[in-house]
Amino acid sequence: MDIRADRRALHQIPELDRELPETFAYLSGALSPLSCRLFAPMPGSLCAFFDFGRDSAIAFRADADALPIQERTGAAYASRHPGCMHACGHDGHMAILLELARRLSLKKALPHNVLLVFQSAEETSGGAKDLCDTGVFEAHRVKAIFGLHLWPGLAPGVIASRKNELMARSCEVNVDIYGKSAHIAKASEGIDALAAGVAFYQKAMALEAALPPEIFRLLKFGKFQSGTVRNALSAHTHMEGSLRAFQDSVFDSLAQGLDAIGREVEGAFGCTVTVHRTDGYPAVMNPPALYDRVMAAVPFAQLDAPSMTAEDFSWYQRYLPGLFFFLGVGDTPALHADTFDFDETILRKGADFFEKLAETML
């Protein structure tokens, strides 16, 4: 098999969350003939360890789960699983690591051992954190970990990254405001949850706008529902949005600010306000020292600004030094689109980059 065949085979068998039996069966079949030790630190994972007799190791990670999307590419290799699609490039990430594994299997010596990590649940509950908690990196004396993501809008085959902020800490924000319905002719007898919601929204936008422009952050609401009919005050407003930042201090300040706005709106309108936030993922922050070492050894392009999207590779960086990169796929449909596809020739660029890292990083 080659890298293109791997990608197309994996593209046809997308699976969700942590239940990836066909995917891991394919990966195991491709890796088992190679000179590596295969093992699963936990359900929904697969690792391949290449032992070159060294005292330490570096790791490379690929995410393996797909999305609950009905594919509409019309490709001959389209998903065979209704309602599931590799619409985020994870099939490409896995194919890159399989190609890297074949190359590693031919090498007689490297400056360190190499651990390849295939992980589930990147799109859902953050399988990276659970994998870190198994102790697999400590057991194999892993000193650094590397990963990449296919990236629309970046020139085909270009490897790019940046120091510090790369991908945001993110959480979902749900706001519920409960008032009291009354006919608008007797509005004084009710508590207007719609008006309270508007006030909450305006104050939240002012909270985010008050931060200096050089601080990367995002607080936006995409859904606002309130009321039932035109001539009655709303008894309930529901809002859904997203909070994203890079520094924990900025994130926490905005989160606490939303709670304070809720209390302020309660006092002003006499309503009840609840603000709920999901845990989300930490920010992907590339450590400058490791960044500089890799740039000196295997040069890559530098990005001017980070992405406000999220990635659970950030959990690895909480446990050990790690760098994350983007691999350009050019002008393609957006990630998570039901028509997402790409020119597979760029995958070799990712495998070449990882191979050079494996050969040169100390």
Of the candidates 294, 18, 299, 17, which has an alpha carbon nearest to the alpha carbon of residue 146?
A: 294
Per-residue H/E/C for 216-244: CEEEEEEEEEECCCCCECCCEEEEEEEEE
Of the candidates 159, 123, 160, which has an alpha carbon nearest to the alpha carbon of residue 310?
A: 123
Active-site residue (options: 123, 130, 192, 312): 123
- How far, in Å, are 285, 286, 356 from residue 292 at the CA level? 14, 10, 15
Q: How many CB atoms lie within 10 A of CB 289?
A: 10
Give the largest Cα separation in the chain, rounded: 85
Cα angle 119-120-124, degrees, rounded to a multiple of 5 = 135
- Report which DSSP code applies to 70: -
Residue whose pair of structure tokens reads 């990367």 in the numeric block:
216
Active-site residue (options: 6, 15, 63, 341): 63
- How far, in Å, are 173, 176, 184, 273 from residue 227 at the CA level? 20, 12, 12, 16
123 annotated active-site: yes
CA distance 158 to 162: 13
63 annotated active-site: yes
In what helix (H) or strand (E) does residue 175 lie, and over which residues does it extend?
strand 169-178
Enzyme catalytic residues: 63, 123
